[in-house]
A = this chain, B = another copy of it.
Amino acid sequence: MCFIIIISFGTCVHSLAQVLYDFTAEPGNNELTVQEGEILTLVFQSIILLLSVMVILCHMAVGSVYSFDEEWDDDSDDGKSTGGYGGSQADEGGTMQRGGAHSTMKLSLNKFPGFSKTPNPEVYLLTKHISKGDDRLPIYTGEVGPVWLYPQIQLDCVVADPKKGSKMYGLKSYIEYQITPNTTNRPVNHRYKHFDWLYERLVEKFACALPIPCLPDKQVTGRFEEEFIKMRMERLQGWMSRMCRHPVISNSDVFQLFLNYRDEKEWKLGKRKAEKDEIVGVKIFSNIDPELPEEQKYEMYSQFTRSMDNSVKELLTVGHLHWKRCTGPLQKEYRQIGKAFQNLSSVFNTSAYPREYTLTEALTATGKTYEEIINFVSQPKKDLHFLMETTHEYKGLLGCFPDTIAVHKAAIDKVKEADHLVVMNKISQQDKLIMEKNLSTMSYALQAEMNHFHSNRIYDYNRLVQFYLEEQVKFYETIAEKLKKALGQYTTM
């Protein structure tokens, strides 16, 4: 990663840039080592309008001439790396927040104004909407209240087979993942930056109504390492599965495009169309078609998601400590116990006393058993993994709720003003009724979303904790069994 300030600029294809910070290239990543103050010539493949002072993030090609990919390779705008549930990282969660929490670059790339300021719902509230056939987002009143319309067959996909690809005559390397949806069973390939593009479209389009969880962390160094690729794939799988499970997202044009495009042309056309989509931000509510007016429950939701956020963070912290202990001191301790028994056995063996063969053999077996157990005490790593990964996902998801709920709060405040605005002749009585109807629609959508969240949460934690306990039971049973076997070697005197 390298921050450069462009000090000479224009609509030409060449620009001069001064390096702001030293940067040491990572071998094999087609990066270049540069030093503070150095003046570089940038060559752009297409003409880009450069703003007067713009902080850019770039990958560098060899030599002092820099090639920019037409599509930014923004798989490098984040200095963080994740390799587990690191203490502080588990608490920061910065990368799980959307747009606004990222770099400025990210924001300027977003057409959507971002959630650092709550989108103004006024533009939606004052318009009378008749939702059109295809775009309509139906909500039904189910047993638990408003619910989205769920498809008969739930979409799902498999993210697999990460492959290293390259372009620019090998100057740029990247990892491409294969995504196979259960509907077509036909794989498509995507790089991380495509996922990121999809994420941005989903935020733009849906984030006023639906919390869109962040993608797994970006990474600069070591992103071609096997361990990292495996972890990223697993987390992309988690993210995609969650998106597939959402009836509104999974049914959206942009998501369908991502999973089903047939060739490069279809992908590029679809991308352009998606980027031009105008039903974004608060306008999404105009597609919602409620059955009944609905009371406001956002305060309860706000309270619930905040509490769950805390609870989930506690679980992550505790899980992290447990993980650390199981893989560190506990292993060491069992190794020491194993060694102590084996040493005692060795000493006993030197006694030249004729009657202790059984005991020394048994002591050695005991020592070895404890050494075998070492492999099992790292078990929580395996058991906990699933619980931790999904809880981490929930942490990200819960971090999106305050923004989604803030849109509702803003709408409610606007409607509260309505009486006053009527008196002031700023809006008509008719406008006020439309506003109230529209607010009810927003509330209806929030409840549908909340019910979606609840049913997912119940499903997830039920299977998560079940799996965890199953593995834990196996773990303790295996240790008991092994020790019982060692015990069998002793004679009863």
**Residue positions of A touching B, CB distance < 8 A:** 143-144, 300, 303-304, 307-308, 310-312, 314-315, 318-319, 321-322, 325, 329-330, 333, 336-337, 339-341, 343-344, 346-348, 350-356, 359, 362-363, 366, 451, 454-455, 457-459, 461-463, 465-466, 469-470, 472-473, 476-477, 479-480, 483-484, 486-487, 490-493
Contact = CB atoms under 8 A, between A and B. Distances in A.
A486 B476 CA distance: 14
A465 B366 contact: yes
A200 to B, nearest CB: 31
A144 B363 contact: no
B363 A340 contact: no
A465 B337 contact: no
A475 to B, nearest CB: 8
A480 B304 CA distance: 33
Contacts of A491: 462
Contacts of A348: 308, 457-458, 461
B143 A311 contact: no
Contact of A352 (B300, B343, B347, B457): B300
Given A336-B321, A355-B455, A476 B476 contact: yes
B462 A490 contact: yes
A347 B459 contact: no
A461 B343 CA distance: 13
Contacts of A366: 465, 469
B356 A458 contact: yes
Contacts of A308: 344, 347-348
Contacts of A492: 466
A354 B477 contact: no
Contact of A454 (B315, B353, B469, B470): B353
Contacts of A457: 348
A395 to B, nearest CB: 13
Contact of A483 (B304, B330, B472): B472
Given A359-B462, A459-B493, A476-B477, 17 more contacts: A304-B351, A308-B344, A314-B339, A314-B340, A314-B343, A322-B333, A325-B329, A348-B461, A359-B458, A362-B462, A363-B461, A463-B493, A466-B492, A472-B483, A476-B479, A476-B480, A477-B477
A460 to B, nearest CB: 10
Nearest to A459: B493
B451 A353 contact: yes
A304 B310 CA distance: 59
B455 A469 contact: no
A314 B333 CA distance: 12
Contacts of A318: 333, 336-337, 339-340
A350 B307 contact: yes
Contacts of A341: 315, 465
A189 to B, nearest CB: 33
Contacts of A479: 476
A321 B359 CA distance: 25
- Of A300, A312, A359, A363, chain B has the most CB atoms within 10 Å of the CB of A359
Contact of A311 (B319, B329, B347, B472): B347
Nearest to A488: B469
9 contacts: A143-B354, A304-B347, A315-B344, A318-B339, A322-B337, A462-B490, A466-B487, A476-B479, A476-B480
A461 B336 CA distance: 18
Contacts of A354: 143-144
Given A304-B350, A353-B454, A354-B144, A476 B483 contact: yes
Contacts of A325: 329-330, 333
A303 B484 CA distance: 34
A144 B476 contact: no
Given A318-B336, A325-B329, A472-B483, A344 B493 contact: no
A278 B469 CA distance: 70
- Of A336, A363, A476, chain B has the most CB atoms within 10 Å of the CB of A476
B355 A458 contact: yes
Contacts of A310: 347
Contacts of A307: 347, 350
Nearest to A356: B458
Contacts of A473: 480, 483-484, 487
Contacts of A343: 311, 314
A319 B336 CA distance: 9
Contacts of A476: 476-477, 479-480, 483
Lowest 7 CB-CB distances: which A-B pairs, in order? A476-B480, A469-B487, A353-B454, A307-B347, A466-B490, A318-B336, A318-B340
Nearest to A466: B490
